[in-house]
A and B are shown apart, each in its own frame.
Chain A
């Protein structure tokens, strides 16, 4: 879907993005992580051509982005900017309607879409007529996400979209994003400083440092074999192993040939939740049940197995 080919961007002496090559298949969620100033936001801006590269190119759906009409290209790409950037003179509804209006959708279709999106990002319909300054920071962020999603873009660039929302809402929004992604097959590139978010959402994690792409791999691969001490430190240093528990679910490790008594864990539950349950109950095995009503068992050995 999107290919970065030796992409470079300089600002004076700083090389903000340094010879980055990366392939992101259609339907993937690429979590872009790395320390502050690593060039994550710059990379997103290169993709929707808010800035032009000093070297290399971006290919979107097989076409070189530099050759496409830029305004039309951007309307196909949803963009959540780091600083939210809602238009202060427009209501929430009008903000969400930004791209559909640019695309000339019919009013009725836009209205339906606004209701849908407010629901999707967990905002009450009554907020539609409010203005951005009448919202909390987290609510503003969610409107920003809704605005980016409005025209069902084939590519979604999100720069720390959930930074200002509380952890519980954040999880809900992550679930909503996964659901949207599963339904529409949108390719997503998401910048985050939240390691759990990267592991939870990313099908691929790309680690950037000083403009360079240090490692791009699936969460499990990256956690098992971090390419550098910096990457290892980012994912928790000595506690990195705990994050590995977030990359597999109980169902993937359980033995469905037998079961034991007790309150079962859901097969979709991640291993960290299983361990938490074990620790709370003081046991090393737990019953598992899946969506089809199958019963199984998962032990601590299964959890830590490779």
Chain B
């Protein structure tokens, strides 16, 4: 059953390559006969993948919490005035090139994972926020009236009626945000974060196309795997 799902296959392939890249050294030697060191060794691929996943994952988590929270606040009576500015703000955050955000964050935070995390969070906010705003707006007025008329408290209405009904759209936003995050985390290596982008950056600067290939394939597989996982979750959501 589970094995019939592409997510399982892509996941297995990703893990297999992550842990078995060294064994593929003959393949890379054959592909690129001129290279002395055909497989990236500065850090192990499992370490790179874990660090990459943690960075993208925690950024997505934070972006999701902030994004949903901001959208919820902006749709409550007290915060309704902020909704347009929130939309504008998150769109602006999205127009900054991630490299620029990184460059701006480095002087403030130093090299490493932190500037990457900040850039990823800023970057992930927009899809989650706008999806949550759209999801909450998609709840029919009649249902809000029925909920209020039944005597739901505002918090109960949010948890029991609005968020469950907005869930499919919110989840789609989180999916987009997370996938973007996984891709964007790659460039975190330019400011010293340890990610699957490290072999790509080192390969580019050191003219080692094998490193570039290894990093690219793993990042792509990781992104596809997570995307398919989200697909599985969406499939399990009750259809209304």
> Contacts of B165 on A, CB cut-off 8 Å?
88-89
Which of B150, B238, B240 interacts with A147 by CB under 8 Å? B150
Give residues 86-118 of A contacting B (CB, 8 Å): 86-89, 98-99, 102
Q: Give bound CA distance, A89 to B151, whole Å.
A: 18
Q: Give bound CA distance, A99 to B149, whole Å.
A: 10
Stretch at the interface among A25-33, A69-77, A201-209, A219-227: A69-77
A133 interface hit (Cβ, 8 Å): yes
| Contact present for B156 and A102 (CB under 8 Å) | yes
B31 interface hit (Cβ, 8 Å): no
> Contacts of A72 on B, CB cut-off 8 Å?
151
**In the complex, how many angstroms separate the beta carbon of B47 from the nearest chain A beta carbon?**
43
Taking CB as reference atom, which chain B residue is nearest A41?
A: B145
Q: Give bound CA distance, A84 to B151, whole Å.
A: 16
A131 interface hit (Cβ, 8 Å): yes
**In the complex, how many angstroms separate the beta carbon of A158 from the nearest chain B beta carbon?**
11
> Contacts of B152 on A, CB cut-off 8 Å?
71, 102
| Contact present for A81 and B145 (CB under 8 Å) | yes
A184 interface hit (Cβ, 8 Å): no
**In the complex, how many angstroms separate the beta carbon of B152 from the nearest chain A beta carbon?**
7
Q: Give bound CA distance, A79 to B151, whole Å.
A: 10
Which of A50, A74, A75, A87 interacts with B143 by CB under 8 Å? A87
A237 interface hit (Cβ, 8 Å): no
> Contacts of A50 on B, CB cut-off 8 Å?
145, 148-149
**In the complex, how many angstroms separate the beta carbon of A198 from the nearest chain B beta carbon?**
22
Q: A87-B161, A89-B164, A89-B240 are in contact. Are A71 and B151 (CB under 8 A)?
A: yes
| Contact present for A74 and B151 (CB under 8 Å) | yes
**In the complex, how many angstroms separate the beta carbon of B25 from the nearest chain A beta carbon?**
53
Taking CB as reference atom, which chain A residue is nearest B240?
A: A88
Q: A89-B238, A102-B156, A133-B240 are in contact. Are A81 and B149 (CB under 8 A)?
A: yes
> Contacts of A102 on B, CB cut-off 8 Å?
150-152, 156
Q: Give bound CA distance, A89 to B240, whole Å.
A: 6
Q: Give bound CA distance, A77 to B238, whole Å.
A: 31
| Contact present for A85 and B151 (CB under 8 Å) | no
> Contacts of A131 on B, CB cut-off 8 Å?
240
A186 interface hit (Cβ, 8 Å): no
> Contacts of B146 on A, CB cut-off 8 Å?
79, 81, 85-87
B153 interface hit (Cβ, 8 Å): yes
Q: Give bound CA distance, A48 to B150, whole Å.
A: 10
Q: A89-B240, A131-B240 are in contact. Are A79 and B149 (CB under 8 A)?
A: yes
Taking CB as reference atom, which chain A residue is nearest B156?
A: A102
Q: Give bound CA distance, A147 to B152, whole Å.
A: 14
**In the complex, how many angstroms separate the beta carbon of B134 from the nearest chain A beta carbon?**
17
Q: Give bound CA distance, A133 to B148, whole Å.
A: 21
Q: Mark B125-152, 1 if CB is under 8 A from A, else 0.
A: 0000000000000001011011111111
Q: Give bound CA distance, A121 to B110, whole Å.
A: 69
Q: Give bound CA distance, A133 to B151, whole Å.
A: 23
> Contacts of A81 on B, CB cut-off 8 Å?
142, 145-146, 149
Taking CB as reference atom, which chain A residue is nearest B153?
A: A71
A36 interface hit (Cβ, 8 Å): no
Taking CB as reference atom, which chain B residue is nearest A102?
A: B151
Q: A88-B165, A89-B238 are in contact. Are A99 and B145 (CB under 8 A)?
A: no
A83 interface hit (Cβ, 8 Å): yes
**In the complex, how many angstroms separate the beta carbon of A70 from the nearest chain B beta carbon?**
8
> Contacts of B153 on A, CB cut-off 8 Å?
71
Which of B148, B164, B238 interacts with A74 by CB under 8 Å? B148
**In the complex, how many angstroms separate the beta carbon of A132 from the nearest chain B beta carbon?**
9
> Contacts of B140 on A, CB cut-off 8 Å?
85
| Contact present for B142 and A83 (CB under 8 Å) | yes
17 new A-B contacts, CB < 8 A, other than A71-B151, A74-B150, A87-B147, are A48-B149, A50-B149, A71-B153, A72-B151, A74-B148, A79-B146, A79-B149, A79-B150, A81-B145, A81-B149, A85-B140, A87-B143, A87-B161, A88-B165, A99-B151, A102-B150, A102-B151
Q: List 12 A-B contacts (CB under 8 A).
A: A71-B153, A73-B151, A74-B149, A75-B151, A77-B149, A79-B150, A85-B140, A85-B143, A87-B147, A88-B165, A89-B164, A133-B240
| Across the A-B interface, the 5 shortest Cβ-Cβ residue pairs | A85-B146, A75-B151, A79-B149, A74-B151, A85-B142
